[in-house]
Amino acid sequence: MKILIVNKFLYENGGSETYIFRLGEYFQSIGHEVQFFGMEDERNIVGNKWNILTKNLTFKKISLRTLLYPFKIIYSREARCKIKRIMELFDPDVVHLNNINFQITPSIIYEIHKHKIPIIFTAHDYQLICPNHMLYQPNKSIPCEKCISSGFIHCVKNNCIHGSKFRSILGFLESKLYHSLKTYSLIDMVICPSAFLEKKFLCKSVFRDKTVVMHNFYRKALINITTKKGNYALYFGRFTIDKGIRTLINVCKRLPEIQFIFAGSGPLEASFNNIQNIKNVGFLKGDNLIKMISEARLSICPSEWYENYPYSVVESLVYGTPVICSEIGGIPEIIKNNYNGLFFEPSNEEDLFDKISLLWYNKGMLDELTGNCSKTAFDTPDIYGQKLLSLYNQTLNRE
């Protein structure tokens, strides 16, 4: 089978990139031909043999030199023309779309459909139903579903994209345009990494009878993992309000006897640099991150937005560390309360304080939850890949 995987970033940038790289590796290992399409970047680690990629568009850096960016961000004629060329040269059996909005743009959907090639889309976030991709209102720091229930104009009213009226207007126009044109009806199948995300997508009639829930896979790294636990609690991820960092920082201040390690980066970094029991080790990846996770007594995922299926929670369990986490979004599909972790009410400092204290000082409970982490099963890339191939074949058989 010939498979074209499309994602705007083709270098290590986040969960969606990890997803496409591992799938590509697996499909190639069993004899399928895989090509990638996305943006040009010197950091790219995949691509296609014709080197046909779109120019790099950076939404966050609009200047006089890039006056056409607003139009290209909504509809990219370049991306449509270049994927047309890929269709002609590669003639794929199926096209698997991932993160495309704002740079690649949904304009390519028309060209793929024109070639009568099945389209699979993996929803790594809420980009097709929410202009800021998060179902989250930044100015109030709360989850928000107004764009689903009463129109995308709420993105503009609340400056939901980077706090900018201009960028929020662009996001509104993009969402309004492609929903009005029923562009997304041309997608054959939407893969939802959580049942929670699927429920939100099904609020839009265009996605009904087109969704399937497939929890994300995980490939465990082949390194020696120590069974010896350190004396710290771990947070790893972005340092942003939506991730619940502000709530966690306030709780850390109330537990000075516990050492907290924060691994990541983000705009709120300066807000905890002078707190004695918080050690910032910066952004970690690979073996360094795995070692940090596996040696933590517990990890914390205090998110305040509708997390889809966060890899941070999966990684904690895979490497034997129970998680104290917000009961929000798709997280309850990974964590079983009082089995491999503990839930607390999102943004509730008192509840988070109680749960950290309970697990930290109750060795019997901590040992039991730690032991249960290894009993939590996740699909490997080969198991997930076989399920995905079945979906590809289903869409091909519809033709």
Once rounded to an integer, what is the mean pLDDT over residues 38-64? 84
Phi, psi dihedral angles at 297 (to 5 degrees): -70, -35
**Is 227 inside a domain boundary?**
no
Do both 159 and 14 map to the same domain?
A: yes
Residues 63 and 167 in one domain: yes
Look at residue 225 and tell me if it is in a domain: no
Structure confidence at residue 64 (pLDDT)? 45
Query: In the predicted model, is pLDDT for residue 69 greater than 90?
Result: no
Residue 337 resides in a domain: yes
d(CA 138, CA 249): 19
Nearest C-alpha neighbor of 192 from the set 105, 129, 113, 117:
129
Inter-axis angle of helices 15-29 and 381-398, nearest 10: 80
Question: Could you tell me if 71 and 212 lie in one domain?
Answer: yes
CA 239 to chain CA centroid, nearest Å:
16
Do 55 and 193 have their domain in common?
Answer: yes
Answer yes or no: is pLDDT of 360 > 50.
yes
The pLDDT assigned to 62 comes to 52
Mean pLDDT, all residues of the chain: 93
Instruction: Specify which residues 122 forms β-bridges with.
Output: 191
The answer to whether residues 235 and 321 touch, using CB atoms and an 8 Å cutoff, is: no
> Predicted confidence band at 303 (pLDDT cuts at 50, 70, 90)?
very high
**Average pLDDT for residues 346-365, to the nearest whole number?**
97
- What proportion of the chain, given as a percentage, has pLDDT over 90? 85
93 close to 392: Cβ distance less than 8 angstroms: yes
Is 222 inside a domain boundary?
no
Q: How are beta strands 142-143 and 136-137 bridged, if at all? A: antiparallel
pLDDT of residue 359: 97
Domain count, the chain: 2
Residue 39: DSSP 8-state: B
If asked whether residues 132 and 166 sit together in one domain, one would say yes
Same-domain pairing of 308 and 160: no
Type of residue at 331: I
Is the CB of residue 104 less than 8 Å from the CB of residue 8? yes
Domain that holds residue 166: 2-217+380-398
Residue 226 domain-assigned (yes or no): no
Overall average pLDDT of the 135-158 stretch: 94
pLDDT of residue 95: 98
Best CA proximity match to 160, nearest among 183, 132, 186: 132
Residue 152: the pLDDT is 95
288 in the same domain as 191 = no
The helix or strand, by DSSP H or E, that contains position 170, with its residue range, turns out to be: helix 165-180
SS3 208: coil
- Residue 181 to residue 177: CA distance in whole angstroms: 6
Which of the two residues, 13 and 256, has the higher pLDDT score? 256
**Residues 256 and 209 both lie in one domain:** no
136 CB-contact burial (10 Å; exposed 0-12 / middle 13-18 / buried 19+): buried
The CA–CA distances, whole Å, from 125 to 115, 121, 135, 307 equal 27, 11, 9, 8
pLDDT for 66: 47
Same domain, yes or no, for 369 and 255?
yes
Q: Is 80 within a domain?
A: yes
Q: Has residue 159 been placed in a domain?
A: yes
Q: Name the pTM for this structure.
A: 0.92
Cβ contacts of 93 within 8 Å, gap of 6 or more: 1, 2, 3, 117, 118, 392, 396
Please determine, for residue 366, whether its predicted confidence score (pLDDT) is greater than 90. yes
Extended beta strands in the chain, E state = 2-6, 33-37, 94-97, 119-122, 136-137, 142-143, 189-192, 211-213, 233-238, 260-265, 278-280, 298-301, 323-326, 341-344
Closest CA to 302 of 313, 291, 293, 311: 313
pLDDT at 317 > cutoff 60? yes
Q: Which pLDDT tens digit goes with each residue over 74-108?
A: 889 999 999 999 999 999 999 999 999 888 999 99
**Is residue 101, in this structure, part of any structural domain at all?**
yes
Q: How buried is residue 251: exposed, middle or buried, by Cβ count under 10 Å (0-12/13-18/19+)? A: buried
The enclosing domain of 267 has a CATH number of 3.40.50.2000
Q: Are residues 129 and 247 in the same domain?
A: no
Q: Both 310 and 250 in a single domain?
A: yes
Q: What is the pLDDT of residues 183-233, one digit of tens each?
A: 999 999 999 999 999 999 999 999 999 999 999 999 877 666 666 899 999
Q: What angle do CA 282, 288, 289 make, to 5 degrees?
A: 70
Q: Distances from the Cα of 317 to the Cαs of 71, 100, 153, 335, in angstroms? A: 43, 30, 40, 9
- pLDDT at position 65, please? 46
Residues 278 and 164 in one domain: no
